[in-house]
A and B are shown apart, each in its own frame.
Chain A
Amino acid sequence: MRTVKEPGSAHGGLSDWYWQRLSAVVLAFLLPLSFLLMLMVFSGAVDQQGLLDILDHVASRVLHTLLILALMVHAYMGLKVILEDYVHMLAWRIPLIATMLVLMSGFGIWWLALIWAWA
């Protein structure tokens, strides 16, 4: 008899792979923009009023929402794969992944609230 190696449904692996790539494509477009914004603030090309004007714009709120969703999906899937590689004891692995999921969803929701709240 073979022992079960991994918990979870057999089809879960493909959808993880797919979500990792879908979120990667979104991030490839949006993440450089956010880093550029930081550099523009750093260099003084944008002052506080300019930054607020950018962040206020509805396009920026929508793009930030997409960015956050993609970040959470991508970072969760990525870190999950890494934990599955290095943490072999299921008694550790499963609570670790669960804690990560809870922390990241909370963080993501908090961030979304901030994005739609700033005036």
Chain B
Amino acid sequence: MNEQPVKYHRPLSPRISIYRWRAPMLASIAHRASGVALVLFVPLYLWLLHGMTSSPDHYDATLTWLHSLPGKCSLWFVGVALVYHFSNGIRFLLIDVGWGESRKMMRFSALVVLFIAALASLMFAWLLFL
């Protein structure tokens, strides 16, 4: 064994610093970020259902929390992450089965998905806060 294994000094996986920012790259990174954000959806949803299926007092308290600022912000955050991860997830699945694999299509569909998410963030803000 001549080579010294350079175990812990390998570069971290997405070497963001060496790339130029492009829509498809942004779409991929946002997919990872929204995936992590959606993990929060799981306990939130369970906790809400749990509160809403017990006594009427408990239901009212949960509903009041939903209408409070932290509640609305959680709904907004989870909603935007969901719309983004959903749209881009379908985009990824379509690319996996061989649809829209050309560089031009990948760029176009990335822009479409990012646009949908931006639109959803505005729509949810309007729905929840106004």
* A interface with B by C-beta (< 8 Å): 1, 3, 21, 24-25, 27-28, 31-32, 34-35, 38-39, 41-42, 48, 51-52, 55, 71, 75, 78-79, 82, 85-86, 88-89, 107, 111, 114, 118
Contact = CB atoms under 8 A, between A and B. Distances in A.
B78 A88 contact: no
A48 B36 contact: no
A31 B35 CA distance: 13
Contacts of B127: 39
Contacts of B45: 34, 38
Contact of A31 (B12, B75, B86): B86
B79 interface: yes
Contacts of B86: 28, 31-32
B3 to A, nearest CB: 8
Interface of chain B: mostly helix, strand, loop or mixed: helix
A118 B41 CA distance: 21
Contacts of B52: 41, 48, 51
Interface stretch (B59-67, B99-107, B109-117): B59-67
A111 B46 contact: yes
Contacts of B43: 107
A8 B14 CA distance: 23
Contact of B35 (A41, A51, A78): A78
B89 A24 contact: yes
A86 B14 CA distance: 9
